[in-house]
Amino acid sequence: MEWETVIGLEVHVSLSTQSKLFSGSSTKFGAEPNTQANIFDAALPGTLPVFNKDALRMAVRFGVGIGAEIGKRSVFDRKNYFYPDLPKGYQVTQLDYPTVGKGSLTVVLSDGREKEIGVTRAHIEENAGKSLHEDYHGMSGIDLNRAGEPLLEIVSEPEISNAEEAVAYLKKLHTIIRYLDISDAIMAQGSMRCDVNVSIRRVGDTELGTRTEIKNINSFRFVEKAIHSEVQRQQELIEDGGRVIQETRRYNADRDETTPMRSKEVANDYRYFPEPDLLPIVIDDAYIEAIRADLPELPDAKKQRFVEEFKLSDYDAGVLASSRELAEYFELVAKQTGDAKLAANWVSGDLQALLNKNSWEVADCPIQAERLASLISRIKDDTISGKIAKTVFETMIEDASSVDDIIEAKGLKQVTDSGEIEKLVDDVIANNPDQVQQFKEGKEQVIGFLVGQAMQLSKGKANPGQVNALLKDKMK
C-alpha cells in the first residue's frame, strides 16, 4: 500500500530579551534556582503583568523577516491547566489574535528542489518553570527562573511531506532567527524546541489521517529519526488493522522509538478566555515599517548576492549564507584577498571543519578572518603553496603569531629560486630514468609523478608550476 506522510511543526524559541515577558526579572541562563523569580513569577495574589516592549519588537521582526502578515491588534488569552511549575494555573498566550499571521519560508532540498512551506502563525507566550523530579523526600522541586520567559511559538502549515523537509524547514527557521538576532535558538539548551505533528494517509486521500504529536525534541537529528520511527509505527499499526489514536508521544533516542506520554485521566480542556489583566496590543504601520527598515540582509538575499557579486556556485553560496557569522567571515576574507573562490573554499572547507571538530562558534575560533586572509594572500603571491598553507593553518590554531612569522620560523617559504629548482629537477630526472623514458615516448601523464617526486624532495616547498615547466623543458 502506498502511504504519504503529513507533518506540521510547532517550534518554540526563547526570545533573547534581558527581562521576562511580564515582569522585571532577569532571563539570564544558568542562575541559582528561583533567584530570577519575583512575586509576579511566583504568582502571588495581587501582582499584575507589565508587557515587555522588546518581546513585541522581536516577534514583529520575525514576522516581517518571513514576509508574514502582522497583527496590528493582538490579544492575550489565558490557557488554563494545572501543573506546579505554572503557579498561576494558566499560561498567557495568544489564541485568536496572534502578533504574527500567515507567512512562509522556502527551503532547498538535497536534490536541489525548492519548496515553499507555509507558516500558519507565530504567537507570543510565556514559558513555564522547571520541575525536578529527583527525590526530594518523595516531592518535586520547582524552579521558577524560566517561568515567564518570553517565547515565540511558530506554527507551520501541515505542508511538510517527510523528515528531510522537516529538518530543512527547521534549519531555515534557525538560520533566519539567528540572522534576526531575536534568539540564540540553541536546541541543546532548550532555547529552540520542536513539537512534531505526524499523520499518514493513503496516497490520493484528501482527508488527513489521525495525528500524533511528538513533544519536545531537542536536536535536528532526533527530529529526523523521530519522524522516521513514528511514520513506520503508524504504517505497521494501520496495516495490521489497528487505528492511530490522537495522543502525545515522546521520542526515546536510545531505543529509537516513540512512546505515549502517560495519558491524563481526564482529557485536558484548556478553557481559554481573554486575559483580563492585559489590554489588546495595538501597533501601526509606522511601527512595522521602522522594524522593516532595520532588518539585516537575510539568508536568501545574501546567498543571491554571493552568487552575483562573488560568482560563487549556488551550493557554496548556500553553505556560506546558512550562518550569519560564517557569511560575514567569508566576506571579510574575500574582500581582503580579492579571491572569492579561494576564500569560499577555505571558509567552507578547512575553517568549517575546524569549527565542527571543536564545536566552536565563529567567534571562538583562534583563526579570525584577517589571519586567514593573510594566509590566502601568501598563497596568491607564491610565498607558499596551497599544500604548505594547510600546514601553516594547522600551526595557526595553536600559535597566535602572524602568518609571515610562522612561515619564516618554520622555514616554509616556497622555493622559487630557479637555480634551486633546476637542481631539484635534475635530481628527479637522474633518479627516475624509467619515467623520463616513458614521458619521452609520449606518455605525458607521468609528469604528475615526476612533479610529485620533486615536491617531496623539496618537502613541499618548491613551486609546483615552476617545477612542472622546467621538467617539461628539460625532457624535451
The one-letter amino acid code at 443 reads K
Q: Which is nearer to other proteins, 18 or 402 (CB)?
A: 18
DSSP string spanning 212-264? EEEEEE-SHHHHHHHHHHHHHHHHHHHHTT------EEEEETTTTEEEEPPPP
**Residues found near other proteins in the complex (CB under 8 A):** 17-19, 23-26, 32-39, 42, 44, 50-56, 75, 80-84, 96-97, 131-133, 136-144, 261-262, 264, 266, 268-269, 271, 274, 276, 278-282
Q: Which is nearer to other proteins, 133 or 476 (CB)?
A: 133
459 conformational bin, left if phi > 0, alpha if psi -120 to 50, beta if neither: left
Quote the least distance from Cβ 108 to other proteins, whole Å: 35
Q: Which is nearer to other proteins, 215 or 228 (CB)?
A: 215
Pairing of strands 212-217, 248-252: parallel
Give the dihedral of Cα atoms 329, 335, 341, 342; nearest 10 deg: -70
Q: Which is nearer to other proteins, 22 or 346 (CB)?
A: 22
Q: How far apart are CA 86 and CA 128, in angstroms?
A: 5
Quote the least distance from Cβ 217 to other proteins, whole Å: 17
188 contact partners, CB below 8 Å, separation of at least 6: 218, 219
Quote the least distance from Cβ 143 to other proteins, whole Å: 6
CA-to-CA separations, 199 to 104, 168, 214, 230, 308, in angstroms, rounded? 21, 19, 11, 9, 41
Q: By C-alpha distance, which of 117, 81, 80, 82 is closest to 102?
A: 117
Q: Which is nearer to other proteins, 161 or 248 (CB)?
A: 248
Quote the least distance from Cβ 150 to other proteins, whole Å: 9
Quote the least distance from Cβ 75 to other proteins, whole Å: 4
Quote the least distance from Cβ 242 to other proteins, whole Å: 25
Q: Which is nearer to other proteins, 84 or 452 (CB)?
A: 84
